[in-house]
Amino acid sequence: MNHKFFILITLAVATIAMAEKASTALPVKVTAQGELKLAPAKPATAEPDETLDAAKLPLVSARITGKELQIIYNIPEGQHATVSKSFNFMTVTTTGIKGLEFGETICPEGEKDPNGNTVYHGIFILKKPIKTLSGYAFEPRTVAVTAGYQLCLDSGVCMPPKKETINLSFTLEKQ
């Protein structure tokens, strides 16, 4: 028996056992090549429930409120997302729209782990300010928002990083 294959199967079984022990649904699958992959999450929507009810929100959604793009993450119970100076999978990119400028991503405070990393549980929102430049046409638009993340079980096992793209339709009001 190939030792690499045996180690991958052992790792997959141990990961699934840890998830069951933590009473958590594990969004991981093993490919035919023996790789661990995230199972598909619920499809993202551009119109999340305004009450931000975790039971009704997908894993990642987005909306524009005023002149701010908000990316809403809904981390399942028993899991978390971590941001550190050495690695950050919590990324947000947008497609360009003439006359519209998206600012730097603003992250909420979150909790600090013993290593000084920021840890997020449950629902949290990343924000990007929106600036309209001269010549911007205030009409219905669509922007592609790509949101990155990496989920980890609270027990310590992390899934591979993932990105989701949300096509968000919006109309900015003149102010």
Write down the domain spans for the chain.
Answer: 41-170
- 47-74 residues labelled b (16+ CB within 10 A) or e (exposed): ebeeeeeeeebbbbbbbbeeeebbbbbb
Task: Please state the φ and ψ torsions of residue 59, each to the nearest 5 degrees.
Answer: -60, -40
- 2 pLDDT exceeds 70? no
According to CATH, what is the number of the domain 41-170? 2.60.40.1250
Helix %, strand %, coil % of the chain (to 5): 10, 40, 50
pLDDT tens digits, one per residue of 69-84: 999 999 999 999 988 7
pLDDT at 12: 35
The DSSP secondary structure of 121-151, one letter per residue, reads: -SEEEEEEEEEEPTT---S-EEEEEEEEE-E
pLDDT tens digits, one per residue of 11-35: 333 333 333 333 333 333 333 444 4
- 154 pLDDT exceeds 70? yes
